[in-house]
């Protein structure tokens, strides 16, 4: 008889939401100081330039030498000690965000199993599916993975399933349920270490940081912050995002006000509360699952006087981009910026 274990957040939210070292930096600074001194004291000759370049070469060699040594022992978010004997060439990912991270790291050819919800990149369509909010333990075992990438959001109902996999001799690493960009970066770096792709992880994080900085700089153009309600699940059980979530942080980055920001986490709210909040913009994140998501909000009883409805500022944003804590989260940040402040972010 096959074993299945439920995996995910509360059912209402899950359906909508699931889905270098210091030495190098120090040596680089010395090199830059040497160049500045050379420029101030005299004209740089070709020989001096060559000396500076030669001094920089050991920095590059040192960075390139940073490889993961196996067997590798790490501790995951649950405190579980995970031992990986050699660089994985068979990976099972139990949540789409981990899958997107692994592909971005260049591990696509090594992924042998993914969640039913995985839909990016396109190549995942050809990868064995191991279940959605329920994962099939026996199927995962049959794939003989070197590592299973779990997620903290699945601990409530998936803990026993994780243990079954461990009992079968399969290492399970539970990734932190990120609540902000810094924790997303840490998740990328953790998976990069597990798979021997530390350099690729650093590049992805650096690129994301640049993109976040650029978007934050544009937010300086906002003269008066708009109030925003984010609806991550619609009727009958409406859920929104409070503080201590990366969705809340995204609103902060673009200089918008989260009307539910005085509460924490994922919050169940009633329509009357939304009307009382009186948001200028309403963002839905479930249009890919629910037909006419925007129209459902626009026609909701009692919403006629809400500014977002009056001004037709109810916009659906791509759920995958704004809800998956992975490399595309900066695309989600840009999408939210375009939805709330099109005059700034759509130019």
Q: Contact at 8 Å (CB) between 215 and 333?
A: yes
Considering just the CA atoms, what is the radius of gyration of the chain in Å?
A: 23
Q: Check whether 115 has a pLDDT greater than 60.
A: yes
Whole-angstrom CA distances from 309 to 92, 227, 275, 342 are: 43, 13, 10, 17
Q: Mean per-residue pLDDT for 315-323?
A: 96
Q: Contact at 8 Å (CB) between 314 and 298?
A: yes
Q: How far apart are CA 134 and CA 168, in angstroms?
A: 18
Whole-structure pTM value: 0.82
Q: How far apart are CA 228 and CA 242, in angstroms?
A: 11
Q: How far apart are CA 181 and CA 153, in angstroms?
A: 17
128 phi, psi to nearest 5 deg: -55, 130
Give the model confidence (pLDDT) of 245-295 as tens digits: 999 999 999 999 999 999 999 999 999 999 999 999 999 999 999 989 999
Fold of 222-345: Rossmann fold (3.40.50)
Q: How far apart are CA 29 and CA 25, in angstroms?
A: 6
Q: What is the DSSP string of 278-293?
A: --SEEEES-TTTSTTH
**Percent above pLDDT 90 for the chain:** 76
Give the model confidence (pLDDT) of 141-183 as tens digits: 999 999 999 999 888 777 889 999 999 999 999 999 999 999 9
Instruction: Please tell us whether the domain made up of 4-18+68-209 is placed in CATH 3.40.50.1980.
Output: yes
Whole-angstrom CA distances from 236 to 12, 261, 286 are: 9, 22, 14
The pairing of strands 91-93 and 172-175 is unpaired
Residue 183 is encoded by which pair of tokens? 């924790």
Q: Give the domain ranges of the chain.
A: 4-18+68-209, 23-64, 222-345
Residue appearing with tokens 């590059």: 60
Q: Contact at 8 Å (CB) between 86 and 196?
A: no
Give the model confidence (pLDDT) of 174-183 as tens digits: 999 999 999 9
Assess whether the region 4-18+68-209 and the region 222-345 belong to the same CATH fold: yes
Q: Check whether 9 has a pLDDT greater than 90.
A: no
Give the model confidence (pLDDT) of 210-248 as tens digits: 999 999 999 999 999 999 999 999 999 999 999 999 999
């Amino acid at each position: 008889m096959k074993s299945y274990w439920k995996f995910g957040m509360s059912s209402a939210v899950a359906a909508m939401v699931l889905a270098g070292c210091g030495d190098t930096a120090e040596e680089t600074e010395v090199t830059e100081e040497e160049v500045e001194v050379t420029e101030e004291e005299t004209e740089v000759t070709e020989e001096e330039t060559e000396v500076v370049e030669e001094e920089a070469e050991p920095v590059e060699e040192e960075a390139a030498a940073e490889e993961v040594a196996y067997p590798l022992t790490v501790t995951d978010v649950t405190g579980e000690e995970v031992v990986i004997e050699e660089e994985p060439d068979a990976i099972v990912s139990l949540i789409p965000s981990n899958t997107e991270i692994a592909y971005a790291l260049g591990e696509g050819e090594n992924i042998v199993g993914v969640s039913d919800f995985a839909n990016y990149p396109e190549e995942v369509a050809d990868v064995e599916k191991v279940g959605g909010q329920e994962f099939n333990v026996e199927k995962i075992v049959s794939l003989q993975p070197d590592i299973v990438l779990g997620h903290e959001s699945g601990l409530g109902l998936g803990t026993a399933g994780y243990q079954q996999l461990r009992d079968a001799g399969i290492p399970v690493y539970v990734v932190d349920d990120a609540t902000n960009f810094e924790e997303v970066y840490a998740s990328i770096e953790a998976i990069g270490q597990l798979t021997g792709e530390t350099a690729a992880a650093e590049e992805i994080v650096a690129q994301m940081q640049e993109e976040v900085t650029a978007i934050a700089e544009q937010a300086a153009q906002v003269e008066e912050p708009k109030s925003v309600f984010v609806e991550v699940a619609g009727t009958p059980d409406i859920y929104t995002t409070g503080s201590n979530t990366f969705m809340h942080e995204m609103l902060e980055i673009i200089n918008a006000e989260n009307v539910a920001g005085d509460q924490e986490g994922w919050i169940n709210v009633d329509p009357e509360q939304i009307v009382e909040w009186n948001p200028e913009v309403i963002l839905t994140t479930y249009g890919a699952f629910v037909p006419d998501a925007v129209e459902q909000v626009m026609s909701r009883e009692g919403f006629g006087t809400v500014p977002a409805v009056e001004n037709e500022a109810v916009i659906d944003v791509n759920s995958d981009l704004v809800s998956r804590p992975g490399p595309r989260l900066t695309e989600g940040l840009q999408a939210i910026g375009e939805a709330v402040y099109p005059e700034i972010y759509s130019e």
